[in-house]
Amino acid sequence: MAASLREVRVARGKGLRELARMVRILPQLLSAWEKGQRVPQPEDVARLLGALRVDDVTYDRMMRLARHARDDNWLDSNPSDLPPALSGIVEYERTATRITMWSLAVLPGILQTPDYARDVLTNAEIGLAQADAMLVARLERQRILVKPEPVRLTAFLGEMAIREQIGSAEIMSDQMDHLTRVADLPNVSLRIVPRNIGYHPGLIGPFVLYEFGSLPPIVHLESSHATAFLHDEDVVRDYRRQAKILANRALSEDATRDLFREVAR
């Protein structure tokens, strides 16, 4: 919700102090809402949206977020446009100090080449305009790996994710070359979890764990029709445990690079 509040304000061309003055609140309070440091009441969000004169679709979406913003865990069961689900992910990626992710069968968006991403999105049964918007957002998100103070990324990848051909053989070869380059970044650890090693919790499904400097960690789960953000301490602890299990089963970083090169041939 914090990310969407800021997006709506910027889209309407309003400065933070200007909007705060319009609704008669302190700029510091509005800033805290936009940073996710404090949670506004639904009536506060309604005042902001009224001052910004947003359309009905945006109003309904934002009010739905406002009503559920204090929930321990949040589920978006129909992420039909970029926000709120993707807006939340972008904000988590932008502000996280460490990201740990597990992907079983498809490479995560933050590691995809444009051609790989385009093939995934165009075959996902979504509209062309939405696919284009998601492609642009997906490629922009990758900048967190090379910004001045980059996030520390640990990505466990199922072997199927690099063996399954997405697009042409050339696309996959380029994708493997890209993974090799990313794996050389000092803030990135990529490790393949081999096939046929028996049961492990990762077989249940992918996850992303976001950790922050001064805020509680968040787990992100995604399926074809739902996106969940989990904050419960016990849930987060369980996914930390899953990450440790995957680390024990995964190939080393060097062996992973060798496998990328082998698949790229």
Query: Cα dist. 53→9, 73, 77, 87 in Å?
Result: 10, 30, 27, 20
In the predicted structure, residue 107 carries a pLDDT above the cut 80: yes
R_g over Cα of the chain: 20
Residue 247 confidence (pLDDT) above 70: yes
| Residue where a domain stops, chosen among 45, 70, 95 | 70
Residues 83 and 33 in one domain: no
Question: Do residue 33 and residue 99 come from a single domain?
Answer: no
Of 16-25, 51-60, 119-128, give the range with the top mean pLDDT: 16-25
CATH number of domain containing 33? 1.10.260.40
Residue 140: per-residue pLDDT? 81
In tens, the pLDDT along 66-104 reads 887 776 555 554 444 444 567 678 778 888 999 999 999
How high is the pLDDT of residue 83?
A: 46
Using the 3D structure, point to which of 19, 43, 70 is the last residue of a domain. Answer: 70
Q: What is the pLDDT of residue 79?
A: 43
Q: Are residues 122 and 233 in the same domain?
A: yes
Q: What is the tally of structural domains in the chain?
A: 2
- Do 107 and 219 sit in the same domain of this protein? yes
Percentage above 90 pLDDT, the chain: 58
Q: Are residues 32 and 133 in the same domain?
A: no
Say yes or no: 116 and 201 in one domain: yes
Do 225 and 141 belong to one domain? Answer: yes
Closest CA to 264 of 174, 181, 155, 184: 174
Q: Are residues 114 and 173 in the same domain?
A: yes
Specify whether 40 is located in the same domain as 83: no
Q: Could you tell me if 9 and 16 are in contact, meaning their C-beta atoms sit under 8 angstroms apart?
A: yes
Per-residue pLDDT of 163-220, as tens digits, reads 999 999 999 999 999 999 999 999 999 999 999 999 999 999 999 999 998 788 999 9
Q: What CATH number did the domain enclosing 86 receive? A: 3.30.870
CB 162 within 8 A of CB 259: yes
Higher pLDDT, residue 79 or 105: 105
Whether 112 and 199 share a structural domain: yes
Residues 255 and 211 in one domain: yes
Is pLDDT larger for residue 130 or for residue 97?
A: 97
In order, the DSSP letters of 66-108 are HHHTT-SEEEES---SSTTHHHHHHHHHHH-SEEEEEESSS--
Question: What does pTM read for this prediction?
Answer: 0.71
Look at residues 70, 86, 116 and tell me which one is the last residue of a structural domain: 70
Long-range contacts of 232-239 (CB under 8 A, 24+ apart): 232/72, 232/73, 235/73, 236/209, 239/207, 239/209
Domain of 40 in residue numbering reads as 1-70
- Does residue 77 sit in the same domain as residue 89? yes
